[in-house]
Chain A
């Protein structure tokens, strides 16, 4: 049973436009969410995170929105740049559970292509 789902395997946008990547989760105990960016043959790099006490977190061109009632989060990239082309992974954790291990549950990833 996949607890974190990214239903769009790929997304293509024009340079300068907005990229919106979506993520759904099923476990209501998740209270911390992260987005990672991954290039081929490289390890993921941290982009942005949000805790469940917030519904929005912004860092430069990247904004993450959290809708707890819908168990949905999204990553907005504005404006999109060709260098943003990569695989984006959504991840979730239940960090405030007692005995939390710090383990992250990842989605399958969405491949973003930003065309010049």
Chain B
């Protein structure tokens, strides 16, 4: 089973704060992803990476940014949080040549007041 970790699990912050959501995996997977999900809605891809120094924006526009300096680490940063950023953020990694099966972390539930 895959090991992928996200911290914090829950975060409540005020508007305008800078935050970083951490994501780490121990499987050596090259492909990593960030999804955003609201209750009753589908998961939307906001960022992905094929390996070190590779990052791409996903299908849903997001004001967040990501970096991939190490294979195992894929943090997401919001420079200035707003209430519209309130959501669940899910990090995932995948194995295999096509990266078709994703392993997800437990998620970070972000609330911006």
Contact = CB atoms under 8 A, between A and B. Distances in A.
Interface of A: 2, 4, 9, 32, 34, 36, 41-46, 49, 89, 91, 93, 95-96, 100-109
Given A101-B48, A102-B98, A43 B104 contact: yes
Interface string B81-111: 0000000101110100011111111110100
Given A49-B101, A103-B33, A4 B94 contact: no
A93 B101 CA distance: 10
Given A102-B99, A103-B33, A103-B48, A4 B107 contact: no
Contacts of A44: 43, 90, 102, 104
B9 interface: yes
Contact-size category for B: 20 to 34
Given A34-B101, A42-B106, A46-B102, A103 B45 contact: yes
B48 A109 contact: no
Interface of B: 6, 9, 31, 33, 35, 40-45, 48, 50, 56, 58-59, 88, 90-92, 94, 98-107, 109
